[in-house]
Chains A and B, each alone.
Chain A
Amino acid sequence: MNGFPILSLLTLVPLVGGLILLGLHSRQHQLARRLALAFSGVSLLGVLLLCGWFDTGTESMQFEERYGWIDALAVDYRLGIDGLGLLMVLLTGIVVPMALAAAGPVPDRGPAYFGLVLLLQSGLFGTFTALNFFHWFIFWELSLIPAFFLIKLWGGPQRSAAAIQFFVYTMVGSIGLLLAFLAIYLAVGTFDFMEIAERARQGTLIPALSASVGWYDLTTRQLGFVIFAAAFLGFAVKVPLVPLHTWLPAAYSEAPTATTMLLTGLMSKMGVYGFIRIVLPIFPEALRWVSVPLLWLAVITVVVSAAAALAQRDLKRMLAYSSINHLGYCLLGLFAITSGAAGELVAVEKSAALSGVFLQMFNHGLTAAALFWFVALIEKRSGGLRGLGDFGGLRTRAPVLCGLMGIALFSSLGLPGLNGFVGEFLIFKGVFGLTPWAATLSTLGLLLTAVFILTMIQRVFFGPVNPAWSGFSELTVGERWQVAPVIGLMFLIGIYPQAILGFTNRTVVTMIKAVGY
């Protein structure tokens, strides 16, 4: 414990970078972009170093740092990562440089823009490494504020409404979370995730809550459920779970592309991460109690969002719904894990589902961010047009652009050989073993995904060249080199998933065992 504080440093680098950039004059936007790329590059190097140092054989938290902070409240500054944390940190390290590359030069208040992106990254690193609710919550909120301003100041025509909706929605969720944890703190006197989870495992958490917070004449179980619901809300909004998703299409489509990439690639993962790190170990009882309704919600999320994507006429909105759909599989896997009986017999199914969820989180972050990047590349050439009916025959004009975007689209569709398939297969394998009906119904989502993605390809890439785009330009060499590593990563994970799963296997085993599902 308390070795070289690499996690703190990792969080600090973009924070410092962001503050420096915010101090630059707005004329220096080129310098700001370069600096931001440099800072995120350093972060990426740090993350890769972390991956190298990570010990895949141990199940405890690694790179732990723990310092007493506010003794009166028993708040420690405690950081650490396991396989899940590492995966999320890695994803953050990868997606932020992608977003910066996709943003291109921002002449309008550039330094502020790039500074906010770096602050957001810092918030994400903090969220994914904190093990104490106190500063975890600070980072959780810290990431929200830059996102709000990024949408509000640089977004599309409806940006104001979208930003406010996004902010208020997530704030409501956060308040539920905060209240829940205050109640828990009153009962057990600690904000430490690990310690609270330990109490939950021993079954003393909810009785303690009931003893200290006794509220009207709720029974112990009901009280536990109320606290659970408050915490649940915060994450369900962030992921999102239908019907709490209505902020998302507007926010994703109005935000500038780099921000959309961060929102879908990383911030949506905060929700799933929260479910796994916090809800799953702390509220096992309540989760099991409502697992069937939750499974229904997950199935609805998967199917309805895919169907809604089919009706969209705007590329970004379509991808936004597709994003909801893909995260729906994560929730499906998680809720299925909580619904099944305990025992060695279903442990393999649960391992499969949880591994699938981890992989799906990483894959979705990568693929969805890449897809929004490609939309940005198209928008750059079309002068901001991105309607499904605005194009036609682009593949004739720009075969490389369409080919590479096609790869990303098929990855999103779950084609074997690319990254999307392995995660979805593991989730379906696990979920089918635990709750066959949910898996069977959810295949409708897979089918509809194919329908809307192929419709999009047909209308945008195929067909005769739309005369309006006869001058549509191909990817430049520079752009090809920027996109190539991401596409390469998709192939790598698709063919050799062990590259990612190797980090998480111990964590999966520990979690399945620890939460006693």
Chain B
Amino acid sequence: MSWVVPSLWLIPVLPAVAAGVIALAPRRCRRFASGAAIGSMGVSLVLSLVAFMHTVGLVSRGAESRQVFNFTWFQFGDKVLPLGWVLDPLSAVMLVMVCFVGLLIFIYSLGYMAHDDNFTRFFCFLALFAGAMLGVVIANSLLLLFICWELVGLTSYLLIGFWFHRPTAAAAARKAFITTRVGDMAFLIGMVWLYAGTGTLLFYDAGKGCLETTAIHSLVMRATGVGMAASTGISLLIFLGAVGKSGQLPLHVWLPDAMEGPTPVSALIHAATMVAAGVFLVARVYPLMAVTAPEAAPPAIQAPAVAVAGQTERAGESHGATSQSHEGQHGGAPVSTALKVVTWTGVLTALFAASIAVAQTDIKRILAYSTVSQLGFMMMGLGAGGVAVGMFHLITHAFFKALLFMGAGSVIHGCHEEQDIRRMGGLKAFMPVTYMTYAVGMMALSGVPLLFSGFWSKDEILHAVQAWPVSSLPFVLGLAAALLTAFYMTRQMAYVFFGPCRLKHSASHGTHSKRAESTPHESPRVMTVPLIILAVFAVLLGFFGTPVWPWFQSFLEGRAARIDAGRLFTVGTLGLIGLSTLVVFGGIYAGWRLYGRRPPRKAEAADPLEAIYPEGYAVLRNKYYIDELYDLSVVRVTHWCGRMSDWLDQTLWAGAVRLVSFGFVALSWLSRLFDEYVVNAGFDQGCRKLITGGSGFSRLQTGRVRHYLGMLALGFVVLVLVMLWRWRP
């Protein structure tokens, strides 16, 4: 093993250390903070490229492309808990993507955040985020992945709430953290279940890891109480974690609100990297997700044949990525329950979010719903096609979506913090660079054929769903989502860059009252140069994954790629290319017809779509009322539970205690009453009688001798009489 793998830890640790140093630095050290963050990110990028080339070298030589480095974190009892990191094609690709996009966004932030008071803190959080995200990427242990996953969530929380004095930002930050934590709790349970089931959380550990054949085989064979294999249960729980992080239905609600954060944050965290971590997670544990129980044959014969999405794999190279090569070789292979769930979730999310994006008017929210939708596409690709299909779209999407967000940031910056697309318009003339690069991003996202990366990666996904043996509905729904994507992006372009500028009509809106200031302006170089670089990549990347030369897919599977033009002419490939081209141009044409030909003159004008079908538009505009539904159900129930528990405390438990103490108090009262009215009263009464008697008798004690003598005489007489009567003869 060369020095590359053992020192891979430097890549995430460098930005994290930079974050720590910046946190301790005084607030005024702005130059130092940005320098430390960008510098550490630059070094990490260089190291990532080295690691990437190292992996490419291994793959091209046909050597084992996965190398791990494990170490002991701590010991509990007499057992140890190991962690580790892994360098394989999957993590190498992600490393380069995260470092590269991250570095560009860091540089872009120099311009975007230049006037913010908390510039230092911003770079601290950004660097911490980069460290945690890179940790997710290289983790060779589900636990380490989970740790970094949570830290990524923390930085997302901190950065969404970066302008925490705005109540909306504060609420959005909390919502993001809690919503993703719902998924994370399922993830945690899945993780401890996996730990209990296989005795390790290391992914790869020379045959003993939890993603390797032995462990997976034992999980498939283990039934649970509810009639599915342990592997399915674990997969679904882990997938729930991915659902939360990647904003899939039904936990997507936090992502659009997360746009309250500064735009570079939206670009980096909520478009390119963190939200894609869920997709990456599914790709990472793919062998577990894809495994199906060998039902037909008895286990004894089938022992090593843990079918992974149609491929019997070699031990030690359990990648599980089916080639999505355009031969459509799915025939007959069983599809695991987990992958079915992944696919369906992806399909529904893709269509659902795309339809919402159609009716939004906030430039960043449109992009946010678009991100949700594209993440759905990635899940769809993972579920139906395999790791390479989903990951390819993840990578291309990271570039063009970061580009779009940064373009949107540039627009917002140029329009003096205006985010409503109805108040923009005609920016083409004012911001040429932003316009050109945004157009590239838009075409990549819509999937304009041949030249743009988004076309190739989306085509892969559609191709995979087309061949999906379970159902053909996802293919249709996926095409519909692609159509909507082209439509809403065209709508956005038309609103923002074409038509008359509607910005000045809303001078009362902002604080900028002077007319000179309300004219839009192009952003500074430090912001536009990253845009241009990303635009170049948004085009170029596509050529690494075409059917003719599927370099990316082969690389992820650890194979060297060959150029083979013949693949174009295999069944379905060209047909699908034609069909998706048709869909894309259909979407763009519809969008242009509605919005581009007669652009709205005034910001207050009704949306053309609203004019056509107001009821449907209202539903879309209000995001199907999902937020309201959650407010009425989950949120209300939670608060009710809180009040209920508090009430239980105040009345029931405390009441029981009070009852007991009341019992004791009553008892003591009772004994007091007994004392007073029975014991004391009896005694007192006896005494009183004695006193009365005594005082009666005391009256006899007159002290006069005459009385005494008289009484004596009387007594004597009585005595004599008695004796006479008694002793009568």
Contacts and interface: CB of A to CB of B under 8 A. Distances in A.
Contacts of A147: none
A493 to B, nearest CB: 10
A308 B189 contact: no
Contacts of B165: 393, 396, 462-465
Contacts, number: 162
A508 interface: yes
A447 interface: yes
A436 B167 CA distance: 40
A466 to B, nearest CB: 11
Contacts of A352: 76-77, 79
A4 to B, nearest CB: 29
A317 B78 CA distance: 39
Contacts of B76: 351-352, 355-356, 426, 501, 505, 508
A312 B77 contact: no
Given A307-B645, A352-B79, A465-B165, A417 B192 contact: no
A505 B76 CA distance: 6
A395 B165 CA distance: 8
Contacts of B667: none
Q: Is the interface of A mostly helix, strand, loop or mixed?
A: helix
Interface stretch (B170-178, B436-444, B483-491, B616-624): B170-178
Interface stretch (B99-107, B555-563, B646-654): B646-654
Interface string B487-516: 000000000000000000000000000000
A425 B78 contact: no
B150 A416 contact: yes
Contact of B74 (A307, A347, A429, A501): A501
A123 B170 CA distance: 45
Nearest to B27: A399
Given A428-B192, A497-B74, A498-B74, A308 B185 contact: no
B189 A505 contact: no
Interface string B150-175: 11001001000100111101110110
A308 B645 contact: yes
Interface string B60-80: 000000000000011111110
Nearest to B660: A172
A348 B199 contact: yes
Interface residues of B, number: 53
Given A246-B654, A416-B150, A428 B645 contact: no
Contacts of A439: 189, 192
A198 to B, nearest CB: 22
A383 B182 CA distance: 38
Interface in B74-127: 74-79
Contacts of B193: 432, 436
B646 A454 contact: no
A310 interface: yes
Interface string A439-482: 11001101110111011011001111100000000000000000
A426 B165 CA distance: 37
A242 interface: yes
Nearest to B72: A498
B663 to A, nearest CB: 13
B196 interface: yes
Nearest to A500: B74
B170 A463 contact: yes
Of B167, B181, B189, B649, chain A has the most CB atoms within 10 Å of the CB of B649
Contacts of A502: 75
A433 interface: yes
A168 B661 CA distance: 10
Interface stretch (B248-256, B326-334, B636-644, B689-697): B636-644
B543 interface: no
B137 to A, nearest CB: 16
B143 A425 contact: yes
B151 A416 contact: yes
B642 A355 contact: no
B649 A310 contact: no
Interface string A308-330: 11111000000000000000000
B666 interface: no
Contact of B174 (A351, A415, A436, A458): A458
A245 interface: yes
B195 A429 contact: yes
B58 to A, nearest CB: 31
A242 B657 CA distance: 12
Given A429-B192, A429-B195, A462-B165, A450 B178 contact: yes
Contacts of A393: 165
A509 B656 CA distance: 41
Interface string A416-431: 1100011001101100
B431 interface: no
Contacts of A169: 657
B234 to A, nearest CB: 11
A202 B621 CA distance: 72
A310 B166 CA distance: 23
A56 to B, nearest CB: 10
Nearest to A502: B75
A505 B185 contact: no
Contact of B196 (A168, A433, A505): A433
A496 B383 CA distance: 38
B107 to A, nearest CB: 26
A181 interface: no
A137 B386 CA distance: 65
Contacts of A443: 185, 188-189
A308 B642 contact: yes
A455 B174 CA distance: 7
Given A436-B193, A454-B178, 19 more contacts: A243-B653, A246-B657, A304-B648, A308-B648, A311-B639, A311-B645, A348-B77, A348-B199, A415-B150, A416-B146, A425-B143, A432-B189, A454-B157, A454-B173, A463-B164, A463-B165, A501-B76, A505-B78, A508-B77
Shortest 8 CB-CB contacts between residues of A and residues of B:
A351-B77, A310-B642, A462-B170, A355-B76, A311-B646, A416-B147, A307-B645, A308-B645
Interface of A: 168-169, 242-243, 245-246, 249, 304-305, 307-312, 347-352, 354-356, 393, 395-396, 410, 415-417, 421-422, 425-426, 428-429, 432-433, 436, 439-440, 443-444, 446-448, 450-452, 454-455, 457-458, 461-465, 496-498, 501-502, 505, 508-509, 512
14 contacts: A308-B646, A311-B639, A347-B77, A348-B79, A352-B76, A396-B165, A417-B151, A432-B196, A448-B638, A450-B177, A450-B178, A458-B170, A458-B174, A462-B169
